Amino acid sequence: MTAASDPAFGLGLLVALLAACAAVVAARAALRWRIGRAARVDRGTGVDWMAGLLAVPRRYLVDVHHVVARDPHAARMHALAAGGLLAGSTLALLGLVPPLGASRLFWITTALAFLLALVGGAMVARRRYPRRPARLSGGTFQRLPLLLVAYGGGALLVALAATLGDPLAPLGWLGLAMAAIGGFGLVRQLAGGPMRHAFAGALHLAAHPRPGRFEGERATALMPADLEAPRLGVATPADFAWNQLLGFDACIQCGRCEVACPAFAAGQPLNPKRLIQDLAGAFKSGPPAYAGSPYPNARPVAGIGGPDLPIVGAGALIHPDTIWSCTTCRACVEECPMMIEHVDAIVDLRRFQTMELAAVPAGAIPTLSESRYAEEPGGRPLSARTDFAAGLPLPLIADKGSCDVLLWLGAGAYELRHGRTLRALVELLRRASIDYAVLGAEERDCGDLARRLGDEATFADLARANIATLSRYAFRRILTADPHALHVLRNEYPAFGGHYELIHHSAFLDELTAEGRLNLVAMPDGRLTYHDPCYLGRYNGETEAPRRLLDRLGLERVEMERHGKRAMCCGGGGGAPVSDIAGDRRIPDIRMAQARATGAATVAVACPQCAAMLEGVTGDVAQVRDLAELVLAAVEAAPASQGAGR
Amino acid sequence: MKALVLLSDARHPVSGRPAPAATELQAVALAHTLADEVNGLHAGPDAEAARGALGHGLTRLEHRQLTAGDDPLPSLVAAIGTAPPDLVLAGPRAGAGAQTGLLPYCLAEALGWPIVADAVSLAVADGVLEVIQALPKGARRRWRMRLPAVITVHPAAPAAASFALGVARKGQVVETPGLPARIEGPPVAERPYRPRPRLIASAAAGAGAAERLKAATQATGPGGQVMVAPPPEAAARAILDHLRAIGVLKPAERG
């Protein structure tokens, strides 16, 4: 047994050596995050290390796994490769302890662990060879399965030799050599290669900027910018908080974000994966070569970066068109298994462009100016916001002093299309005898557009003005048909001292019908599909109420492949329509084609932006109807005598 | 190269809130094509609206304080006289208030500088300013003149920069007392606006649609007939002929 245990003892020493090397490499990589600003966390004063580190296993096994498991093959692959590697290596290290090292059963267990790692490595290889899917990166990532197989397979041989004894000793030595080659290869990949995600990812889970995401919260509100800071927004990598830099290093380049990104699909120069790699490389002297898919129709840039050099600009790393292509739909964040916050990074970069350089896309200049000087992004008179309701009773809260439901109209009220929706909603409120009122000319823009375009100063002014207005009136809750206003008032005003109970009209109408305050008749009217607004579904997690409501209408409801929290954006968020960055296709065209592919004749929407974007599609289109319009049609079809409160 | 932009106490045309006038912000952007530092000058009781221009690229604002109703012209002349810039830019008329549009002309007269109205583009080479002036119907005219000069900016000039808080924070405001001066001249009368009939060139009767469209839309601009010191009869005949040609007067009776 002594002769056979020699390679096994060597494996234990090898693992110890690898662990020491890995610690040095990881520590050196971690020191680079120190260039960043103080940690930014959306609650409390900073990173709660104790709670964060203790929560890592749970955050990994529950929250990360929940995302990874959307691709079951990848989940099994990762569980086997990572689990087998960690378990086997730990056991091999324990084998240095004499009584364990002499136990046959112990080495059988070790061999099993490495067998799992080998199978995992083989699955990684099968996914990447002979042909690599477009969303996965090449380069060092293509070498990863070879290293995994070498390390897992070699260590397996060592463990087998230790189990079976003398006849296999030469094989044990061969295995040790293979394990050494594979092991050192993997450690080398810790600094800039695929293995970086292992330690950066674990720390990212502990020091995450939005810990609420692991506790069932949506945690989607943008964090306020410090308007007293010497430099507003992020110009250089050193302007990011250090835990944001850590987050960029956690990326494993799985490409799920690029598959989900609407701007990428439309051929606009944005690829979330490439963006995160550019940001991760920006603070390193010799960033590893990127071997994934590029920005579509990439604009030329100089490619010069460094910890204290600008990130965005034609003479830097990222072209401005890239950050202005984002619709802030958060699809990339929703899909990211490493829980990276792409949208926060993009808005931070935009804040510097807008508030320090005044370098916004030409189309966004009037929007920002009017938001600032007319308190309305279209420059329209605030008193004209209620014009859509001509002939309908629309009491002002200033006249009533208080009401049960305050109706927040939003910028969509000026548009003819959304005006029809709001008319339907007001008519439904009237029929259900709701005590409602509007702010009228006292309602300013909620500031959503200015904030997503990086103009935090204008957003803060609008938020304070609206909060001051709302504080003068008594109401129980705010109803709105605009998910963008819903998100801003519900989730982003609390940071400015405004705390309100918000309800979207989909949930409100669902409530009214459930209580029997609106009588509807089921009216089968062909096949229908529901398009989830990003700011309702992904940002606020409200995907069920609209579906319940539609099902009450007795319609044949079918789902698009991408729906619920994974729905695709209509292209109307984040100021993208005014920034208007050229691509190959239009995002709403893609979404409408997806709706048509279900065979639906009608696409139900619940947001003024979605309605406007989808109605702008030409050719083979489904009819665009807001939930309020569909409900009103069903209520009007019901016998009048049953209508409540007429 | 020193550029100075005159700023008025403007209001947003829809909201009525103090806001820098759009053409004055365009003047700031235009001045930035020539100079890195652009200073602003406001004479009046309140500089809140003018202060807004600091966020749109203005480097420094000088506010000459006046009481309401005072004529800003002497204060402006005094401020410009202490450190004369190479170029004074202004909007075509104030963003609110009297809005006569005469101030840039009065200022140019008081300074003895040339003035070009409705600039859309500026360039300077060897102390010679080249101005592209906007004319009706999209026509453009080029002027060359020696500096210093007063220029008013046309709304068709390049768009102004958007508001940037970081830029606004760096801007300085200098408050100085202005020169009290009552407004001279006849009192201004106010009367309701009356739309005036527009003189549209028309093709001769019986011309086709294409000719009529061409006549109605084609730039008539400069051109036509230039007569230098003509005898009065010849001048009157030329004017009558022109009015007959464009159809304002009936054709001359034969015989």
| pLDDT digit string, tens, across residues B76-96 | 999 999 889 999 999 998 888
- B212 and B119 in a single domain? The answer is no
Q: Which residues of A touch B161 (CB under 8 A)?
A: 358, 365
Of A368, A373, A456, the CB nearest to B15: A373
What's the pLDDT score for residue A476?
97
Contact A354 B57 (CB under 8 A): no
What's the pLDDT score for residue B191?
82
What's the pLDDT score for residue A97?
87
> How does the average pLDDT of chain A come out, rounded?
93
Contact partners, residue A61, CB within 8 Å, separation at least 6: none
What's the pLDDT score for residue B255?
47
Please state the three-class secondary structure of A495-562 as a single string. HHCCCCCEEEHHHHHHHHHHCCCCCCCCCCCCEEEECCCCCCCCCCCCCHHHHHHHHHCCCEEECCCC
pLDDT surpassing 60 at residue B149: yes
State pLDDT tens for residues A52-96: 999 999 999 999 999 999 999 999 999 999 999 999 999 999 988
pLDDT surpassing 90 at residue B106: yes
Among the candidates B177, B208, B223, a domain finishes at: B177
Q: What percent of chain A has pLDDT over 90?
A: 87
How many domains are there within chain B?
2
Q: Which residues of A touch B28 (CB under 8 A)?
A: none
What's the pLDDT score for residue A640?
64
State pLDDT tens for residues A584-620: 999 999 999 999 999 999 999 999 999 999 999 999 9
For helices A169-192 and A196-206, give the axis angle rounded to 10 degrees.
60
State pLDDT tens for residues A167-211: 777 888 999 999 999 999 999 988 888 999 999 999 999 999 999
User: Tokens in use for A81?
Assistant: 């490769």
Of A232, A358, A381, the CB nearest to B161: A358
* Phi, psi (degrees; rounded to nearest 5) at A583: -140, -165
The whole-number average pLDDT for the span B201-224 is: 68
The whole-number average pLDDT for the span A16-45 is: 92
- B100 and B161 in a single domain? The answer is yes
Min Cα separation B168/chain A (Å):
9
A118 vs B: CB within 8 A:
no
Give a yes or no: residue B193 inside a domain: no
User: CA-nearest residue of chain A to B11?
Assistant: A373
Min Cα separation A328/chain B (Å):
21
Cα of A309 vs its chain's centroid, Å: 27
Most confident segment among A161-170, B25-34, B196-205:
B25-34
pLDDT surpassing 50 at residue A165: yes
Of B14, B57, B163, the CB nearest to A372: B163
Contact A369 B17 (CB under 8 A): no
pLDDT surpassing 60 at residue A403: yes
- Region for residue A91 given its phi and psi (left: phi exceeds 0; alpha: psi -120 to 50; beta: otherwise): alpha
A229 vs B: CB within 8 A:
no
Q: Which B residues, 177 through 236, put their C-beta within 8 Å of a C-beta on chain A?
A: none
Give a yes or no: residue B82 inside a domain: yes
- B44 and B133 in a single domain? The answer is yes
User: CA-nearest residue of chain A to B160?
Assistant: A365
pLDDT category, B204, cuts 50, 70, 90?
low
User: CA-nearest residue of chain B to A375?
Assistant: B15
What's the pLDDT score for residue B198?
67
What's the pLDDT score for residue A644?
45
B95 vs A: CB within 8 A:
no
pLDDT category, A45, cuts 50, 70, 90?
confident
What's the pLDDT score for residue A642?
47
A362 vs B: CB within 8 A:
yes
Min Cα separation B163/chain A (Å):
6
User: CA-nearest residue of chain B to A444?
Assistant: B15
Contact A368 B163 (CB under 8 A): yes
User: Which CATH number is B165's domain given?
Assistant: 3.40.50.620
Q: Which of A373, A375, A462, A578 to mutate to test the interface with B (most CBs of B within 10 A)?
A: A373
pLDDT surpassing 70 at residue B199: no
Which pairs count as long-range contacts for B215-219, CB under 8 Å and 24+ apart, including other chains?
B217/B137, B218/B137, B219/B135, B219/B136, B219/B137, B219/B138, B219/B139
Min Cα separation B115/chain A (Å):
30
B160 vs A: CB within 8 A:
yes
A374 vs B: CB within 8 A:
yes
State pLDDT tens for residues A511-536: 999 999 998 888 777 899 999 999 99
- B170 and B213 in a single domain? The answer is no
> How does the average pLDDT of chain B come out, rounded?
88
Min Cα separation B82/chain A (Å):
32
Min Cα separation A357/chain B (Å):
7
Give a yes or no: residue B235 inside a domain: yes
Contact B166 A373 (CB under 8 A): no
State pLDDT tens for residues A218-267: 999 999 999 999 999 999 999 999 999 999 999 999 999 999 999 999 99
Give a yes or no: residue B217 inside a domain: yes
B68 vs A: CB within 8 A:
no
CA distance A340 to A334: 9
User: CA-nearest residue of chain B to A368?
Assistant: B162
What's the pLDDT score for residue A441?
95
B38 vs A: CB within 8 A:
no
- B56 and B115 in a single domain? The answer is yes
Of B14, B15, B159, the CB nearest to A365: B159
Quick one: which H or E segment has residue A351? Answer: helix A342-355
- Starting at the earlier edge strand, list the strands of the sheet with B149-153: B140-146, B128-134, B115-125, B149-153, B87-90, B3-6, B38-44, B60-65, B172-177
A321 vs B: CB within 8 A:
no
B163 vs A: CB within 8 A:
yes
The mean-pLDDT minimum among A370-374, A637-641, B37-41, B163-167 falls in A637-641
Contact A381 B15 (CB under 8 A): yes
Of A231, A355, A374, the CB nearest to B164: A355
Q: Which residues of B touch A227 (CB under 8 A)?
A: 165
Q: Which A residues, 403 through 462, put their C-beta within 8 Å of a C-beta on chain B?
A: 455-458
CA distance A334 to A639: 44
Give a yes or no: residue B182 inside a domain: no
Longest dimension (CA), chain A: 97
- B140 and B246 in a single domain? The answer is no
Cα separation of the two ends of chain B: 65
CA distance A320 to A454: 13
Of B15, B17, B164, the CB nearest to A357: B164
CA distance A278 to A272: 10
Contact B161 A232 (CB under 8 A): no
Contact A232 B165 (CB under 8 A): yes
Number of other CB atoms surrounding residue A230 within 10 Å? 7
Contact A362 B159 (CB under 8 A): yes
Of A227, A373, A380, the CB nearest to B165: A227
| Burial (CB count within 10 angstroms: exposed 0-12, middle 13-18, buried 19+), residue A338 | buried
What's the pLDDT score for residue A583?
95
Q: Which residues of B touch A356 (CB under 8 A)?
A: 164, 166-167
Please report the sign of the dihedral spanned by the C-alpha atoms of residue B230, residue B236, residue B237, residue B238.
Answer: positive
Give a yes or no: residue B187 inside a domain: no
B131 vs A: CB within 8 A:
no
CA distance A615 to A419: 14
Give a yes or no: residue B209 inside a domain: yes
The mean-pLDDT minimum among A348-352, A543-547, B205-209 falls in B205-209
Expressed as residue numbers, the domain containing B57 is 3-177
B159 vs A: CB within 8 A:
yes
User: Tokens in use for A130?
Assistant: 């002979």
B14 vs A: CB within 8 A:
yes
| Burial (CB count within 10 angstroms: exposed 0-12, middle 13-18, buried 19+), residue B78 | middle
The whole-number average pLDDT for the span B186-198 is: 76
A373 vs B: CB within 8 A:
yes
State pLDDT tens for residues A546-556: 999 999 988 89
Give a yes or no: residue B11 inside a domain: yes
Contact A380 B159 (CB under 8 A): no
| Cβ-contact A224, A497 below 8 angstroms | no
The whole-number average pLDDT for the span B9-31 is: 94
Contact B162 A376 (CB under 8 A): no
State pLDDT tens for residues A461-476: 999 999 999 999 999 9
| Cβ-contact A604, A644 below 8 angstroms | no
The mean-pLDDT minimum among A206-210, A379-383, B68-72 falls in B68-72
pLDDT category, B222, cuts 50, 70, 90?
low
| Domain boundaries defined on chain A | 5-206, 225-243+254-355, 377-486, 527-642
User: CA-nearest residue of chain B to A376?
Assistant: B15
What's the pLDDT score for residue B219?
59
